[in-house]
């Protein structure tokens, strides 16, 4: 099964499929003069694409998947437990090896290094993301002994430490969706900015008047400053708590709130900082778009703000049945 998409939209669709874990990495992306045909693991509806049945082409890799590479090293029961997917941030692969395979983790890490030549470090998740800074403990199981890397997307570079700061490589398309909505001369605030993927891209791809980025984690803030310099963009970075810093900055045309775990508790900070007809991009974890829309509407009603919902999109998956959702809303 392939998704047929116009060439100029191909990269966005590919990244979206990656975020949803639906890209079939064992098959090639095919093309004709105007269209790309992107292999998918199951049926999915994405605007401006069409599901087509065409003959696929397998990727001629020595080992097409991690499981295949491990066929002769693990028994069938163990093989079933090997993670199907993993993230790649820069040249670091991050995966979650189940407890049952604890004594096989260096075999798995080495197989990853051998199969994917762009990977230089393999790290295993040790904890869930639960801290205020949205970070998790990682252990290196193969490759070089480092946790710092440079991740590239949409012609931007982000230096970061995969353990001490939050970064998701699956949100590239979503970040571009936001950046491409920014109009000339807007004042934009990115709350919870992390190492800067939203403010840097917005500043690079659009023509805002000013972009502000607020981040609490000192390590993420240090990388944010470095990434502003690295990408030669004009962004004002502020280290501190959104609750304290936002009110010092005047009014904005657009506020991005990429803290899905808790953004609802910060709408009372964002709404007063918005100009009339200003736009908020509100991130949430929920079962579906409707649930997030209802949440936003209720909080805004309680706070006494009239809003118009512009759009709500699923932009990633969080856990089984729970999605990362962005609600775009205008304050009237
Ligand atoms: C989910 S991460 C998103 C980071 C970044 N926007 C991205 O997409 O990579 C949320 C970020 O918000 C920061 N944060 C959490 N609470 C905060 C607060 N009260 N004020 C400012 N930043 C905060 C965390 O340290 C973390 O870097």
Q: Same domain for 179 and 323?
A: yes
Q: Same domain for 205 and 320?
A: yes
Q: Same domain for 197 and 249?
A: yes
CATH number, domain of 7, equals 3.30.70.2580
75: Cα separation from own chain's centroid: 34
Q: Long-range pairs for 203-207 at CB < 8 Å and ≥24 separation? A: 203/231, 203/233, 203/234, 203/235, 204/154, 204/155, 204/156, 204/179, 204/231, 204/233, 205/154, 205/176, 205/179, 205/180, 206/179, 206/180, 206/182, 207/182
Q: Same domain for 229 and 318?
A: yes
152 domain-assigned: no
Q: Same domain for 200 and 286?
A: yes
Burial of residue 201 (CB within 10 Å: 0-12, 13-18, 19+) is buried
- Print the domain residue range for 195: 169-331
Q: Same domain for 99 and 204?
A: no
Q: Same domain for 176 and 290?
A: yes
For ligand 1, say whether the CB of 134 is within 6 Å of any of its atoms. Answer: yes
94 domain-assigned: yes
Q: How far is the CA of 173 from the centre of ligand 1 (A)?
A: 19
CA 280/CA 270 separation, integer angstroms: 8
ipTM of predicted assembly, 2 dp: 0.99
58 domain-assigned: no
For ligand 1, say whether the CB of 270 is within 6 Å of any of its atoms. Answer: no
Please give the chain's pLDDT, 332 residues, in tens.
999 999 999 999 998 888 888 898 888 899 999 999 999 998 888 889 999 988 888 876 656 688 888 988 999 999 999 998 899 999 999 999 999 999 999 999 999 999 888 999 999 999 998 889 999 999 999 999 999 999 999 999 999 999 999 999 999 999 999 999 999 999 999 999 999 999 999 999 999 999 999 999 999 999 999 999 999 999 999 999 999 999 999 999 999 999 999 999 999 999 999 999 999 999 999 999 999 999 999 999 999 999 999 999 999 988 889 999 999 999 99
Q: How far is the CA of 105 from the centre of ligand 1 (A)?
A: 31
Q: Same domain for 302 and 247?
A: yes
Number of folded domains that form the chain: 3
Q: How far is the CA of 185 from the centre of ligand 1 (A)?
A: 25
Q: Same domain for 132 and 181?
A: no
DSSP assignment of 33-85 equals SSEEEEEBSS----TTEEEE-----B---SSSSHHHHTTTTS-HHHHHHS-S-
153 domain-assigned: no
162 domain-assigned: no
For ligand 1, say whether the CB of 316 is within 6 Å of any of its atoms. Answer: no
Cβ atoms of 266 and 291 within 8 Å: the answer is no
Q: Same domain for 48 and 79?
A: no
Please report the pLDDT score of residue 124 as a whole number.
97
296 domain-assigned: yes
Q: Same domain for 190 and 286?
A: yes
């Amino acid at each position: 099964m392939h998704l047929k998409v116009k060439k100029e939209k191909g990269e966005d669709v590919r990244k979206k499929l990656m975020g949803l874990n639906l890209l079939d990495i064992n098959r090639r992306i095919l093309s004709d003069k105007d269209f790309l045909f992107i292999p998918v693991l199951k049926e999915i509806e994405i605007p401006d694409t069409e599901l087509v049945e065409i003959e696929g082409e397998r990727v001629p890799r020595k080992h097409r998947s991690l499981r295949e590479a491990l066929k002769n090293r693990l028994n069938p029961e163990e093989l079933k437990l090997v993670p199907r997917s993993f993230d790649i941030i820069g040249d670091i692969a991050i995966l979650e090896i189940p407890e049952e395979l604890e004594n096989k983790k260096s075999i798995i890490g080495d197989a990853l290094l051998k199969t994917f030549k762009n990977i230089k470090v393999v790290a295993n998740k040790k904890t869930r993301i639960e801290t205020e800074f949205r970070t998790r403990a990682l252990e290196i199981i193969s490759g070089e002994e480092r946790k710092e890397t440079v991740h590239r997307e949409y012609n931007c570079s982000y230096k970061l430490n995969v353990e001490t700061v939050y970064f998701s490589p699956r949100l590239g398309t979503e970040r571009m969706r936001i950046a491409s909505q920014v109009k000339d001369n807007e004042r934009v605030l990115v709350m919870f900015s992390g190492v800067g993927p939203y403010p840097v891209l917005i500043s690079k791809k659009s023509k805002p008047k000013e972009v502000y980025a607020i981040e609490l984690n000192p390590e993420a803030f240090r990388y944010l400053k470095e990434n502003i310099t690295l990408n030669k963009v004009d962004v004002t970075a502020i280290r501190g708590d959104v609750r304290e810093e936002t009110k010092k900055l005047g009014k904005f045309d657009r506020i991005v709130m990429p803290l899905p775990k808790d953004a609802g508790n910060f709408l009372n900070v964002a709404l007063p900082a918005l100009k009339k007809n200003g736009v908020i991009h509100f991130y949430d974890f929920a079962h579906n778009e409707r649930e997030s829309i209802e949440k936003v509407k209720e909080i805004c009603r309680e706070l006494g703000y009239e809003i118009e919902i512009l759009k709500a999109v699923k932009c990633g998956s969080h856990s089984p049945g729970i999605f990362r959702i962005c609600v775009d809303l205008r304050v009237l």
